[in-house]
Amino acid sequence: MSEAQVNHPEPNQTETIAPTAKPTDVTITVRPNGPFRVEGAIKLVDAQGNAWNLEGKPAISLCRCGASANRPFCDGSHNKIGFQSADTPVKVG
Ligand code: FES
């Protein structure tokens, strides 16, 4: 399995990470006008490496609209703000 470059929000900063799981172990579904639904065994950490306790959660929804009061998790606020997204896969690279 190869390493991947990860872009940071800050311009021109990337880091190289080595995947620790098979790609098929996790499924991320882009919900129409909503969150990223993440299913599978994952570890979710903040910028300091502190992990959220996801024990017993087979799936989580991550906010991508920015309006959730419970970020990084979705709290349904995307519906209240009328979040809209275009989710057509495009070739990268
Ligand atoms: S995607 Fe649901 S609150 Fe942001």
Q: Domain segments of the chain: what residues? A: 23-81
Tens of pLDDT along 37-86? 999 999 999 999 999 999 999 999 999 999 999 999 999 999 999 999 98
pTM of the model: 0.72
80 CA to middle of ligand 1, Å?
9
Distance CA 11, CA 22 (A): 29
- H-only helix segments in the chain: 77-81
Q: Whose CA is nearest to atom 2 of ligand 1?
A: 74
Tell me how far the alpha carbon of residue 82 lies from the centroid of ligand 1, in angstroms: 10
For residue 68, which atom of ligand 1 is closest to its CA? 3
* Third-level CATH fold of 23-81: Ribosomal Protein L9; domain 1 (3.40.5)
Q: Which residue did the predictor score with more confidence, 26 or 13?
A: 26
The CA 19 to ligand 1 mean position distance, Å, reads: 27
Q: H or E segment at 40?
A: strand 36-40
